[in-house]
A and B are shown apart, each in its own frame.
Chain A
Amino acid sequence: MNPEVLLETEALVKTFGSVRAVDGLNLQVRAGEMVGLVGPDGAGKTTTMRLLCGVLTLTSGRIRVAGYELPRQVEKAREHIGYLAQRFSLYGDLTVAENLDFFGAIFDVPPAERKARAQELLRFAGLTDFANRPAAALSGGMQKKLGLATALVHRPQVMLLDEPTGAVDPVARQEFWHLLIGLLRTGSAVVVSTPYMDEAMRFNRVIFMNRGRALVEGKPRELLNRLAGQVLELAAEPLMVARRVALADSDVDNVQAFGDRLHLRVRSAEGPLARLPAELSAASVRLIHFQPVTPTLEDVFIQLLEENHDDLPAHD
């Protein structure tokens, strides 16, 4: 049997004046599942998060969280929601432990349990040794961990994390992800928005959002299959001349430079692999290597946006 659905939306719509910020979103997240919302600026990710946690009220559609209907039962639903906003607030002059105690009080954790819960979260977040440090004196990565811990004080079943790993270095991002995966083991349902495409591979399911709608939804590996064999790597000198030659090929849809090489997204690989070496040579470009490579989720996402040409942000 499938685990319980802890979070569900049906035809969710939120309008601001004439703008449909969220436009018919259907979402289902089960216990132990992590779903990623990925999309450009203004895709509706943050609005969705705010609707799900009851900070914003929907225009039409349905939201159920842990069995409670929003907005009607928002108070009951909130007991089961942990929300980490992009700009969350910690009290910089309070210590790490005092912050946890403060948020425990706000979320009605009984005073007798608060201390034990704080100890547990300090261990979980790896902050035990920093319990007495003012939050303002923590590094960016540690502040994120403390932010996550404060969102967990009331043992929520549903976690909503809006771009939790922005502006943090790779080591701190890794540590944060270890915490998130640990959370899933406790049976939480987790929704995360992120602008980092490499992180999107970690979700059980990814929803690519654009203009308030889900462009596509699926397991990351399945989404990659959409472009199997359609990304070629080309190393050549001079690279920018090679780029122009590649862009002129009718089977090449997109060219992206990565340091000393190019990634070509192609409709089919045979034509460009056969044609381009001679064309590059004619343009006095020295070819170093040219071969198919594994696509990335970013390749898939950009291809989807271009397919939905009207939706391309550049054509606003």
Chain B
Amino acid sequence: MTTSPPTISVQHLTRRFGDFIAVDHVSFEVQPGEVVGYLGPNGSGKTTTIRMLCGLLRPSSGTVSVLGIDVIRDPEGIKPHIGYMSQKFALYDDLTVHENLAFYAGVYDVPRKLEAQRLAEVLRMAGLEGRTRTPASELSGGWRQRLALGCALVHHPPLLFLDEPTSGVDPVARREFWDLIYELAAGGTTIFVTTHYMDEAEHCGRVGFMQRGKLLAYDTPRALKEQYLHGAAWNLAAEPLLEAVEALDTLPGIAQSRLEGDRAHVIVTPGAWTPESLTAALTGQGMTVTAVEPVEPTLEDVFTLLARR
């Protein structure tokens, strides 16, 4: 295996706003070609972290190296090499799809003679070829998001930052967006994406959980589940459901209990329960259990466990 230098390397990154520590001694690395998901509630420090990585905000302390560039020393030097897109990405509503892309090609100093080719590539990648003359104001949410992604890619950056790119976008558009992300990653682009959709985190090769400025965990989905979830995950069909969730939460040998769809979802400490004994315990409290199904544990289990600590 060849080892190339990390695309992002962050050591003890810290940002204070007055007394408030928005980002608190965060350290992690991102390898070339990875899709990294950065999760956490609103206000946990995700966006502040991205802004420091992009050279838009100066850290209070710590080091940031992106694509081999010391971002603190040379915040301007990094900008031509990265793409950035957020839900609030500025599109010009009175400009057409093509004009928006051409505008960003200008912003990112795409050489004139390459511009037509780059725009054609981005239009094809984003599936926007049939819409080049449509004003941005007439695009639906999913198409605006694709255009915003296209604008962030006109200069072929090797590293792409996506800040909650799919919030407010419907399930079909979300799936199509992730297809695009995978195509980009397969083509070698490194992707750093923040999200609060837990199912999107499952898409990522590596996942970080932020809470109150701290990076609580950072690893592959599989390793996170192995490290934090000791035991099997079961879904119980139980009535009344909420009472069952609450009763399960108070039982010994249940690491956690929560609602998942129309089921009570539990992580069971190894050896503590069998489906039969757990059913009996709930039945004894006046509840009806009609099924206990083993299921795969999810990142939401990991996150809930970490967040409740």
Known contacts being A260-B205, A313-B170, is A174 close to B259, with CB within 8 Å?
yes
Interface 9-residue window, one of A10-18, A22-30, A274-282, A297-305:
A297-305
Interfacial chain A residues near B156, Cβ < 8 Å: none
Query: Looking at the complex, which one of A167, A169, A220, A256 makes contact with B175 (CB distance below 8 Å)?
Result: A256
Known: A139-B41, A141-B41, A198-B261. A257 touches B203 (CB 8 A): yes
Question: Which B residues are CB-close (under 8 A) to A43?
Answer: 170
Min CB–CB distance B25 → chain A (angstroms): 21
Q: Shortest beta-carbon distance, B307 to chain A, in Å?
A: 5
17 contacts between A and B (CB under 8 A): A40-B171, A41-B168, A139-B42, A167-B167, A170-B198, A174-B259, A174-B304, A182-B242, A201-B262, A220-B261, A256-B175, A257-B178, A259-B205, A260-B221, A302-B171, A312-B172, A313-B142
Shortest Cβ distance from residue B295 to the other chain A in the assembled complex, whole angstroms: 9
Encoded as 1 (CB less than 8 Å from any A CB) or 0, chain B from 6 to 17 comes to 000000000000
Q: Taking the complex as formed, is B179 at the interface, i.e. its CB lies under 8 A from any CB of chain A?
A: yes
Are A171 and B304 within 8 A (Cβ)? Answer: yes
A202 at the interface (CB under 8 A from B): yes
Please provide the 5 A-B residue pairs with the shortest distance between their CB atoms, ordered closest to farther.
Answer: A201-B261, A169-B41, A40-B170, A240-B186, A41-B141
Contacting residues, chain A, for B285 (C-beta < 8 A): none
CB distance from B124 to the nearest CB of A (A): 15
Chain B 35-69 residues near chain A, CB threshold 8 A: 40-44
Instruction: List the B residue with the shortest CB-CB distance to A177.
Output: B259
Complex contacts, A312 vs chain B, CB 8 Å: 172
On whether A139 and B43 interact (CB within 8 A), knowing A166-B168, A169-B307, A171-B304, the answer reads yes
Q: Which residue of A lies closest to B127 (CB)?
A: A314
Q: A169-B41, A195-B171 are in contact. List 18 more A-B contacts (CB 8 A).
A: A41-B141, A139-B43, A167-B196, A170-B304, A170-B307, A171-B303, A196-B197, A197-B171, A198-B260, A199-B261, A201-B262, A243-B182, A257-B178, A257-B182, A258-B202, A259-B202, A259-B205, A314-B176
Q: Does A72 contact B (CB under 8 A)?
A: no
- Whether the pair A140, B262 counts as a contact (CB closer than 8 A) is no
Contact string, A25-68, partner B, CB cutoff 8 A, digits 1/0? 00000000000000111110000000000000000000000000
**B197: which A residues are within 8 A, CB to CB?**
196
- Tell me, rounded to whole Å, the shortest Cβ–Cβ distance linking A276 to chain B: 19
A296–B231 Cα gap in the complex (Å)? 24
Q: Is B112 an interface residue (CB 8 A)?
A: no
* Contact in complex: B142, A40 (CB < 8 Å): yes
Interface residue? A310 (CB, 8 A) = no
Q: Kindly supply a per-residue 1/0 record for chain A positions 65-107, scoring 1 wherever the CB is within 8 Å of any chain B CB and 0 otherwise.
A: 0000000000000000000000000000000000000000000
The reply to whether the CB of B113 lies closer than 8 angstroms to some CB of chain A is no
Q: How far does the alpha carbon of A243 sit from the alpha carbon of B179 in the complex, in Å?
A: 10
Digitize B177-197: 1 where CB-to-A-CB distance is under 8 Å, 0 elsewhere. 011001100100000000011
Number of interface residues of A (CB under 8 A): 47
Hey, what's the 0/1 contact readout for B260-271 against A, CB within 8 Å counting as 1? 111100000000
| B262 contacts A39, C-beta separation under 8 Å | no
Chain B residues positioned under 8 Å from A39 (CB to CB) = 170
Is A287 an interface position by the 8 A CB rule?
Answer: no
A170 touching B261 by the CB < 8 A rule? no
Taking A41-B142, A313-B142 as contacts, is the C-beta distance between A302 and B175 under 8 angstroms?
yes
Using Cβ atoms and an 8 Å threshold, which residues of chain A touch B245?
Answer: 178
B307 contact set on A, CB distance < 8 A:
169-171
A140, A199, A239, A314 pick with most chain B CB within 10 angstroms: A314
Indicate if the CB atoms of B171 and A240 lie closer than 8 Å.
no
A221 contacts B by Cβ under 8 Å: yes
Interchain CB contact under 8 A, A40 and B259: no
> CA of A43 to CA of B142 in the docked complex: distance in angstroms?
13
Quick check: is A245 within 8 A (CB to CB) of the other chain? no
- A314–B170 alpha-carbon span in the complex (Å): 12
CA–CA, A305 to B173, complex, Å? 12
Q: Are B242 and A181 in contact (CB under 8 A)?
A: yes
| B29 sits at the interface (CB 8 A) | no
Q: Give the contacting residue for A202; candidates B41, B171, B259, B303; CB below 8 A.
A: B259
Q: Shortest CB–CB separation between residue B223 and chain A, in angstroms? A: 12
Cα(A199)–Cα(B259), bound, Å: 10
Of all chain A residues, which has the CB nearest B258?
A174
Q: Is the CB of B42 within 8 A of A140?
A: yes
Q: Does B277 contact A (CB under 8 A)?
A: no
Flag whether A307 is at the interface (Cβ < 8 A). no
Q: State whether A41 touches B175 (Cβ < 8 A).
A: no
**A257/B179 contact (C-beta < 8 A), A178-B259, A181-B242, A313-B142 known:** yes
> Which residues of the partner chain B approach A314 to less than 8 Å between Cβ atoms?
127, 142, 172, 176
A264 to chain B, nearest CB (A): 13
Inside 8 A of B263's CB, which chain A residues have their CB?
Answer: 201
Judged by a CB distance under 8 angstroms, whether A168 is at the interface is: yes
On chain B, the residues within 8 Å of A170 by CB distance are: 196, 198, 300, 303-304, 307
Q: Does B241 contact A (CB under 8 A)?
A: yes
